[in-house]
Every structure is written in C-alpha cells, then in structure tokens.
Amino acid sequence: MFDSAGSVKAVLAVLAVILIPVVYFVRLHPLRHVPGPTLAKTSDLFLNVICYLGIEGRVLRYCHQKYGKVIRVAPNSVSVSDAEAIRDIYIAGGGFPKDYRYRNFDLGPVVSIFSSIDNAYRDVRAKAVAPLFAPAQLRAESGPDGVIGSCIAEFVTQLREFKDARVKTDLLDLCARLSIDVVTVYLLGQRYGGLHENTHLDFAARQSEEAKLSANPFIHAIVAFSRFSLLPNRLFKIVYAVSQRLSASDHVAVSFMKLDAFINEVMKRTRAVGMSEPEKLKARYYQERLVAAGVSPDESAAQSKAIVFAGADSTAVMLTTTLFHLVQNGSARRRLRAEIRSNRRDGHTLEGLPFLRACVKEGLRLGMANPTRLTRVVPAGSGLQVGKGEDAIALPPGTIVGCAAYDLHHDPEVFPHPFSFCPERWLDDGTDGGLRRPGMDKSMMPFGHGLRACIGKNLAMHQLHETVLAVMDSDILEGATTCQDKIEMYEWFNGDIKGYVVDIYWR
C-alpha cells in the first residue's frame, strides 16, 4: 500500500538536503554580503561552466557592470574589478599565496615554477634562471649577430616573401614559429626550428593545416585543458584523463613526441652531474642553471618544456594581436613608421620611440596572455578590504580572490572605447584625443603582478618591441588586409585565439 506519510517525509528530507546548503550560502556564509548571481553564491557550477566554455572574462565583466567592483562568483570565490586592490592581492609582502587550483598546472609529478604554491621551492628555481631575463642580457642578443635578432630578421624575411608572392598568410602561425625559436635558442641554447619548418614547400602548401608549426597541436591541447582548471585536483585528474581519451589525436601525439625529443636533445648537451663550482658560475642556459642549482636533470627537462610552452604561446598571441591591429589601423602604422625612421640615428632606443611603446602596450591590453582571474587566497590572520568608506567590502581569510585582466583591460571608465586599438591613449603629448585617463598603468596586468608575475615578462616584452619595430621599418604591412574583422578568444586561464588562424593578405 502506498505510504503517503512516508513519501511526504522523503520529499521533505530531499528538500532539506537541497535548501539547507542554499540557505547557508545565501544567508549565513561569511561572504553573504558580497553581491553576485544567485547560482554563483550557491554552487561552483556557474564558474565551472563559464570557464569550460571559454567565456569567463566577458561573463564576469557583465556581472561586475551589474553588481559592482566586488562580486561573488562561487560559494567561497570572489572576483575583484578594482585596480587599487592589485597591490594588496599580488604585491604587498610578496602577495597572497596561490590557491590549490594551481596544482592542476603541475607537470605530472613535477611542480613547475609557475604552479608552485611553496615559495621556497619556487625561489630556488626562479633565482637560478632570473639572470637570463635581465634587460642588458636581452639587448646583447638583439643585434644582427644576436640570436634574438637573427630570428626576428628571418621572420621579417619570410613575411616579405609571402607579401611578394601575394598569398594569404597565417600571421598567428608565423608569430608562433618566431616565438618558439626565440624562446628555445635564447633560453635553451638550441633552436627548435619553427621558422625553418616547411620552407621547402610552395607558398600554397605552407598554408595547409598539416604544414603549420609542429608544436602547435600539443601547445593548443595544453592551453585547452585549463578549461577544467577550477575543478578540485582529484576530480580534475579524472576529468582530464577522460577528456584526453575522448579527444585523442595523432597530431597531438606526434607534436608532443617532437617537442619531447627536442628537449631530450637539449638535455643531452647539458652536463647533469659532477658540475664544479666554477662551472656552475658559468652556466649560461636555463636548463644548465637549474641543474647547477641542484635541480634534477629530469625536473630540469620538465621545467624547460614548461618555459617553451609558456613563452612561445602567450608571446605569439600578443604579437599577433598587435600586428593584426596595425594592419587595420593605417594612421597608427604611418605614425609608427615615421617615428622609427626619424629616430634611426639614435639607435632606436625605446626612450626615443614612445609611440612604439604605446602600440605594444595597447596590443598587450587587447591580447592578454591570461584573461581570467589569477586566483589567490586571503591568508589567515589577515583579511582584505576592497574599496573605501561605506562602499568598502571586507573579505575574510580563506576567501579565493583574484582580478581578471579581461575585466580591468576593458573597463570603459579607465579605457574609453575599450575594445578598440587606440595606442594614442598611452601618450601624454596632447595627441590622445581625450582617451587618456588616470590609472591606466595601474589597471594593466598582462603578465600578472608581484613576485609571482610571469618570469619571462622581460623576454616577451623585448621580443614584442624588437619585432614590431623591425616589421614596421620594413613596410611589409603596407597594402595588407585582414581576413577577419576582429580577433576572438577563448577566455581560458591561458587565452587562445579561436580557430587558431589569423590570416592576412596583400591587395
């Protein structure tokens, strides 16, 4: 016989299981005072879905516009759209510690310099390789005889060949080839050979998908896995493993094996044991410096692979974005070319090229390496207050908190016409057209901030400035047209350009 009383009890029990956590998160949780979407307050589902879909940046920007500078994006996670909070979160006292999300960025059993939560572990490795990123060291390799300068010269030559042949050119692929060659030859002492791949093919064949940079399939697969990066580490490992099986590709496997073979060859040339103190002091390259600091050869190989991925992909995206907008913006192109040529006699010092710096900075604003939140944990015994006066919002210890470049870089109060390429906004010579606003530099975070900022920032900036200078001085982009109106990105932890193609052609 149907037990109606028992059924009612069962329904009430189910409702209690559902409603009690909802009531707690909305009415009793320490973050109950922080505004945001109701679903975000009660479940991680909201944040995980927009992360997976690659729309986290634009959705959180919309939520900030609706709810304010501080919003709750998960039961214990907050997004901050206030540049004044950057110092507290990322800089002061070394910044807040990274949260356990970063365990999902480990290199299998190896904790990378980027993913390390333990500052002592990271410091040993970061300090060992830091001299490689000194500006003076980078400048020494930028002339015609320098390894960076020679890579850029080849890039310009190939771009000119495409122009002379009047064929469609994938700017993103060419920038990726340059970036991986610069990173590998400068940091590891051995060039991957991206710019040399497939040059024996005719121009039409070089544009086929099969002829693109051989490292691309593996790099794109690594970028795409960050769509799961907000999951707890145990669940992440399961989901990622299943995803890999379902999306297994011969192209990714071949790409991985080639990059792996390249790193193995690099390590064969690296003395791994018995290094004397004088030899340690003379260690030149990234992997050598790690070994000299006591890091095992196996880990040094993994760390080297990580820096190739991080440096090559993000710099390629930012360089592509900058050149893409310069193709579309004839007035900026003409002004930049005139500045470069008028300053040639001064040796092209960056101090004498303010508009070049402005163009690169605007490219960084629009082409973000990490468009989503760089998450941290409000430490115990601390707390964070965002804003001032009656509008201030206090966040208790243990809160996951972070700022997103996508939101800060597209704040219309700081950057009028936020989705437009307007390098003039960075100038203080009266030609900004009313676009210059206070706080612009403070709102920029293309490489993160503080001690945990991108270790390769100086190398990336150097490559960007030198390449844009060389391309503009060559007139290669004159007569060029983009095949798309705008660049669209997957807003994963590492941003990636949709379709992995940015074609240009010459009329």
State pLDDT tens for residues 135-167.
999 999 988 889 999 999 999 999 999 999 999
**pLDDT digits 0-9 by tens, 97-127:** 999 999 999 988 899 999 999 999 999 999 9
Least confident of 26-30, 321-325, 393-397, 483-487: 26-30
Residues 58 and 67: their CA atoms lie apart, in Å, by 14
**Is residue 234's pLDDT more than 70?**
yes
Backbone angles phi, psi at 293, to 5 degrees: -85, 5
**pLDDT digits 0-9 by tens, 431-471:** 988 999 999 999 999 999 998 899 999 999 999 999 999 99
**pLDDT digits 0-9 by tens, 371-427:** 999 999 999 988 899 998 888 999 999 999 999 999 999 999 999 999 999 999 999
* Predicted pLDDT at 300: 95
Report how far apart, in Å, the C-alpha atoms of 247 and of each of 50, 212, 241, 258 are. Answer: 20, 20, 10, 19
**pLDDT digits 0-9 by tens, 327-375:** 999 999 999 999 998 887 556 566 789 999 999 999 999 998 899 999 9
* Predicted pLDDT at 391: 84
What is the rounded average pLDDT of the residues 245-274? 84
**Nearby residues of 409 by Cβ (< 8 Å), 6 or more positions away:** 365, 366, 368, 415, 418, 443, 444, 445, 446
Four-CA torsion 488, 332, 469, 348, nearest 10 degrees = -150
**pLDDT digits 0-9 by tens, 159-184:** 999 999 999 999 999 999 999 999 99
Least confident of 84-98, 240-254, 410-424: 240-254
- Residue 134: band (very low, low, confident or very high) from pLDDT cuts 50, 70, 90: very high
* Predicted pLDDT at 1: 45
**Is residue 70's pLDDT more than 60?**
yes
* Predicted pLDDT at 200: 85
pTM assigned to the model: 0.92
Q: Name which of 340, 336, 334, 341 is nearest 362 in CA terms.
A: 336
**pLDDT digits 0-9 by tens, 191-207:** 999 999 988 888 878 87
Give 129's DSSP letter.
H
Backbone angles phi, psi at 362, to 5 degrees: -70, -35
Backbone angles phi, psi at 496, to 5 degrees: -140, 145
* Predicted pLDDT at 161: 94
* Predicted pLDDT at 484: 95
**pLDDT digits 0-9 by tens, 14-24:** 766 666 777 77
* Predicted pLDDT at 348: 58
**pLDDT digits 0-9 by tens, 293-313:** 999 999 999 999 999 988 889
Strands 400-403 and 376-377: antiparallel
Does residue 454 have a known ligand-binding role? yes
* Predicted pLDDT at 241: 83
**Is residue 12's pLDDT more than 70?**
no
* Predicted pLDDT at 100: 92
Residues 280 and 274: their CA atoms lie apart, in Å, by 10
